[in-house]
């Protein structure tokens, strides 16, 4: 029998409300979402990032569906950033960021995946222009980034899509799976779910070969580059080695994918459990202190021992998803332990939200993630444990499936 809710829905709902209140000041005067500092104030010295803007559109669309006062208008402010200054009307697609009227010479799959997710959730929430945004975002994403031969998305183009960066990465593909599941639910296009399965199949082939430590970095021919960024191991998006949080994030996404397919392959559940167990063995409290290390080498030895808030959030999502899928008590027990860790170390009761980065002794630092840029991981950790595995988050909440 599938497992029931592993965490107290009332505590999760209260934390959701606290997080949503913290982020209300995100609108940037230039349009889109500002990077938030420790107290939730916009840090105008940092760029307006498309991925943060899209995440805020997603989060506040979900809050609107849940009836939170003012959330719809805030979602619209984020969407206006995506349809306005961050949107390239000349070459198409979305700039990665904006600072002082200047754009980098980059169009990134990671950002485009989040635009698709934001448009999907905003369409479910009935926000003006969301359906048109989703149609355009899907078309650009598929036309420019999808590599049909590799069955994965490429990573980065220059501004006018004339020069493709040789780097190939899994992070954008992982969030691509999330966005494809959500967009497939919203549009009713089952081919998007099948495309997500193609990506997952390729990524998991490499993960199996590495003992379920996921290779993230590849060359143009999709050959793994295990030493990528060895001299910059704490990179926020392309760290060296195996990323513990991505083992959990992939575990959860595989279960969402399984639940979304009419005839899912059996390996999806098996791979989810294997990834989860690898994350526990390599990542949880392995150096004498509670918390998850950020990365390990290819033998499982910790490389970056800082604790990132998003890793704990994804561990909670994966644990509750596996408990719901299998009913095994061990998943619920671990998840309750991890929620206790979040309450003790990550929740900032004074300034709000969650500390985004702690050192190995669980003291707040900001070397990789200064401030508290957005709400996406923490908010989803309060919602995923209360939802079935399908449909995806916004669609499930709109259907009344939230416990």
- Domain of 209 in residue numbering reads as 9-398
Say which of 246, 309, 323, 356 is annotated catalytic: 246
The answer to whether position 224 is within a domain reads yes
Say which of 193, 217, 256, 377 is annotated catalytic: 377
The answer to whether position 44 is within a domain reads yes
List phi, psi (to 5°) of 152: -150, 165
CA separation (Å) from 361 to 87, 150, 285, 354? 42, 42, 11, 16
Two tokens, residue 247: 């083992």
Two tokens, residue 382: 């309060």
Query: What average pLDDT does the structure give for the chain?
Result: 97
The answer to whether position 333 is within a domain reads yes
- Residue 137 CA to residue 120 CA, distance in Å, equals 10
359, HSE (Cβ side, Cα atoms, 13 Å): 6
Does residue 229 come out as left (phi exceeding 0), alpha (psi in the -120 to 50 range) or beta? left
Q: What pLDDT, in 10s, does the model give residues 94-138? A: 999 999 999 999 999 999 999 999 999 999 999 999 999 999 999
The answer to whether position 325 is within a domain reads yes
Give the domain CATH number at 211: 1.50.10.10
351, HSE (Cβ side, Cα atoms, 13 Å): 14
Number of domains in the chain: 1
Instruction: Please determine, for residue 2, whether its predicted confidence score (pLDDT) is greater than 90.
Output: no
Q: 50-84 burial by CB neighbour count: b if 16+ within 10 A, else e?
A: bbbbbbbbbbbbbbbbbebeebbebbbbbbbbbbe
Sign of CA dihedral 116, 117, 120, 125: negative
**Residue 4: pLDDT band with limits 50, 70, 90:** low
Output the pLDDT for position 1: 38
- Residue 199 CA to residue 177 CA, distance in Å, equals 7
Two tokens, residue 271: 């791979």
The answer to whether position 52 is within a domain reads yes
Output the pLDDT for position 388: 98
H/E element holding 68?
none
Q: What pLDDT, in 10s, does the model give residues 187-205? A: 999 999 999 999 999 999 9
Whether 135 and 142 have beta carbons less than 8 Å apart is answered as: no
Q: What pLDDT, in 10s, does the model give residues 244-257? A: 999 999 999 999 99
Active site residue 246: yes
Asked, as a colleague might, if the bond just before 285 is cis with ω within 30 of 0, I would say no
The rounded Cα 371 to chain-centroid distance in angstroms is 18
Rounded mean pLDDT of 323-333? 97
Whether 226 and 216 have beta carbons less than 8 Å apart is answered as: no
The answer to whether position 3 is within a domain reads no
- Residue 10 CA to residue 367 CA, distance in Å, equals 34
């Amino acid at each position: 029998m599938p497992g029931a809710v592993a965490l107290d829905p009332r505590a999760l709902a209260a934390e959701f409300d606290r997080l949503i209140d913290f982020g209300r000041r995100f609108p940037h005067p230039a349009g889109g979402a500002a990077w938030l500092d420790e107290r939730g104030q916009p840090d105008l010295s940092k760029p307006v990032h498309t991925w943060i803007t899209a995440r805020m559109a997603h989060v506040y669309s979900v809050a609107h569906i849940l009836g939170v006062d003012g959330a719809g208008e805030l979602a619209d402010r984020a969407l206006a950033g995506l349809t306005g200054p961050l949107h390239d009307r000349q070459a198409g697609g979305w700039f990665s960021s904006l600072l002082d009227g200047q754009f980098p010479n980059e169009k990134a799959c990671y950002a485009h995946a989040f635009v698709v997710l934001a448009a999907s959730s905003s369409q479910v929430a009935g926000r003006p222009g969301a359906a048109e945004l989703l149609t355009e975002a899907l078309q650009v994403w598929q036309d420019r980034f999808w590599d049909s031969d590799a069955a994965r998305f490429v990573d980065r183009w220059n501004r006018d899509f004339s020069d493709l960066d040789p780097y190939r990465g899994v992070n954008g593909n992982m969030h691509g799976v999330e966005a494809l599941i959500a967009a497939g639910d919203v549009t009713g296009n089952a081919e998007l779910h099948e495309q997500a399965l193609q990506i997952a199949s390729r990524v998991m082939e490499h993960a199996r070969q590495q003992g379920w430590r996921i290779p993230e970095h590849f060359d143009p021919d999709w050959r793994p580059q295990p030493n990528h960024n060895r001299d910059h191991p704490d990179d926020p998006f392309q760290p060296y080695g195996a990323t513990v949080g991505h083992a959990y994030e992939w575990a959860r996404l595989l279960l969402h994918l399984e639940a979304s397919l009419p005839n899912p392959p059996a390996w999806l559940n098996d791979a989810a459990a294997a990834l989860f167990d690898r994350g526990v063995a390599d990542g949880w409290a392995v150096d004498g202190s509670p918390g998850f290390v950020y990365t390990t080498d290819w033998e499982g030895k910790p490389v970056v021992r800082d604790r990132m808030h998003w890793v704990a959030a994804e561990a909670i999502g994966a644990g509750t998803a596996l408990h719901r899928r299998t009913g095994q008590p061990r998943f619920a027990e671990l998840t309750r332990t991890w929620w206790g860790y979040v309450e003790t170390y990550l929740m900032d009761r004074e300034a709000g939200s969650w500390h985004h980065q702690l050192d190995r002794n669980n003291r707040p630092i900001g070397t990789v993630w200064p401030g508290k840029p957005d709400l996406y991981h923490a908010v989803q950790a309060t919602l995923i444990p209360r939802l079935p595995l399908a449909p995806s988050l916004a669609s499930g909440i709109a259907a009344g499936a939230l416990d």
